[in-house]
Every structure is written in C-alpha cells, then in structure tokens.
Amino acid sequence: MPLLRRQFLQIAAGAVALPAVSRVSWAETYPSQPVRVIVGFAAGGPNDILARLIGQWLAKRLGHPFVIENRPGAGSNIATEAVVRASPDGYTLLLVGSPNAINATLYERLNFDFLRDIAPVASCMRGALVLVLHPSVPAKTLPEFIAYAKANPDKLSYGSGGVGGITHITAELFKMMAGIDMVHVPYRGIAPALTDLLGGRVQALFANPAQSIPYTGAGRLRALAITTASRSEALPDIPAVSEFVPGYEASSIFGFGAPKDTPAEIIDRLNKEIAAVVAEPEVKARIAALDGTVLVGSPADFGKVMAEETEKWGKVIHAANIKTE
C-alpha cells in the first residue's frame, strides 16, 4: 500500500506540473503568428508613432509582425473596448496611455472598467508638457505669471487640445494648485490651439515641447516651466513647475496592455522584450524626440502607475467639474 500511495502521489504531482510546463513552453514559442496592436488615435500622431516604433523592434526580436491597427474615436475608448473583447491569447494588445486613466472618470457610462479589464503588460515612456505664453503676457517666470494671474483673473485664457484631454486637465491641476483662475478655450487638437496662441487669441497653453519650443527662440512664445516632476535633460534651462508649486506633476504615460486573463507567462515575456527594446540607444533617441523619457518596470509596476494616474485625474475632473461635450 505505501508503494501504491507513493506512485499515486508521483503521478498526481506530474499531472499538476504538466499545465505549468505547457504554459512555459507556450510562452517560449510565443508569438507564432502576427500580433495586433490597437491604437486609439489616428495614424501620424505621437501615440501611433510610438506604437509603430516599439512594434517594429518587437517584430525584429520575436520574428513575427506587430501590426498597428488605428481605431480612433471617443478619446481612445473604442480601441480599448475592442481589446477588452478580444481573445486573451497575447495576439491583441492595446497601446495604453493617460487617456485611459482620464476616461475612467470623464465618461460616466463605459462598457468596461479599464483597471479591471485590461491587464498591464509594460510601460515604455513618460512624456512632458511645457507651459508656454504669448509674449503679450508681462511675465518672464512662473512666479511672475502666477502673481499676474491672481491680479488679473479676468484677462487670461488658456487653450487645450480638447475637453478632458491631457493638455486640459494638466492646466486645471495647475490652476488648483497655484490658486489662480483662467478661462478654458478647447480646440479640436493641439495644433489649432497653438495657432491661436501664436496669434494672441489665447494667452497660455500646456503644449508638447517639440511643437512649441521652436517658437520660443524667435520670441514668438515664452516657455515658463515643464510639467514633469524634475527638469528635462533635453530642456535643462526650463524649470519644473514643482520648483515653484510644490508637489505639482503632470505627464503623459505610455505603455502596453492586454485583455484580462492573458497568460502571465506571455505578459512577462512581452514585458522583458519591451524593456529590452526601449533600452536600445536608437529607440531611446526616438523617444526623446517625442519629448519623452524611458519608463520601465514590471507589469505590476505599470498597473500601480495607471491606478495612481486614474485616482489623480479623477480628483481633478471632479473638482473642476469637467464634462464631456
């Protein structure tokens, strides 16, 4: 009897271990076909450029195409829902970004819960915005601008790329923390907002550095501060907002997610591969050209970041009473 019992336990242990071995083997052979990467914005923008950059390098490393599929609309919610409903087999990924964290509160009725239904795979980039002014505003530094705004509450307006977008809520967070007021003028994208800033029709804008900094050298705009927690290596002469408004930080987060229940072994493999890609000097340089810095960590780290961003921007949206149009 002891021998039979020992044999039974050995067989049972082997049966339990078999699925784990199969899963590891599956992850080692992944991918065996093209992988779709769903992007919630139109081709040609920073989200699309980043997804194609990472996708091209992943294809080189893993031997199968990473096909970018643009599904713009509803602030990236259409793309997110498509991935939520996809098979959790590792062959459909989502380019995750700050809009996902914002939309969780901005939209009252969604057919999914982002934090519950999308598994974090890997972060890859943190992007900055820069506060730029029209030269008609008589403020050369951020403290001077805050003082001017407090003294002239009805004279300042700021543009954004749209209601509830990162350029909008970044400004609203600044208003709350600096104790100032400005009138919000939303546009359909950051390009027309920048055009009106250059024309003096709005006085301030939180913009992408690559789009706005070229105008500062010619004196057409004045850059006051960058929104990340510390100064940018690419723009070391521009102070961080937090140097004058303690605790202020606002940035765009980018990474990749997958449908919930995607095997952990596949997620871990993708995480390692994406980390290896963004460590490449050429990729780092391209990310810097997108006004970003490399952001890496485990899937759990990325999940924590997105949860924190969701909570942070939810508070701003509620406090500023931001509603979708």
Pair (75, 115) in one structural domain = yes
Contacts of residue 34, defined as CB under 8 A and 6 or more positions apart, other chains included, come to 64, 65, 66, 67, 91
Please tell me the total count of domains within the chain.
2
Q: Does the global pTM surpass 0.75? A: yes
Domain boundary pick from 195, 220, 243: 243
CATH number at residue 267: 3.40.190.150
Q: What region, left, alpha or beta, does residue 203 occupy, with left being phi > 0 and alpha being psi -120 to 50 degrees?
A: alpha
Report the alpha-carbon distance of residue 194 to residue 186 in Å, rounded.
11
Angle, CA 227 vertex, CA 129 and CA 171 arms, to 5°: 80
In tens digits, the chain (325 residues) has pLDDT values of 444 445 434 544 554 554 544 455 566 789 999 999 999 999 988 899 999 999 999 999 999 999 999 999 999 999 999 999 999 999 999 999 999 999 999 998 999 999 999 999 999 999 999 999 999 999 999 999 999 999 998 789 999 999 999 999 999 999 999 999 999 999 999 999 999 999 999 999 999 998 899 999 889 999 999 999 999 888 999 999 999 999 999 999 999 999 999 999 999 999 999 999 999 999 999 999 888 999 999 999 999 999 999 999 999 999 999 998 6
Domain that holds residue 117: 34-127+251-320
Residue from 177, 155, 173 nearest 164 by CA: 173
Residue 13 within a domain: no
Q: Is 89 exposed, middle or buried (0-12, 13-18, 19+ CB in 10 A)?
A: middle
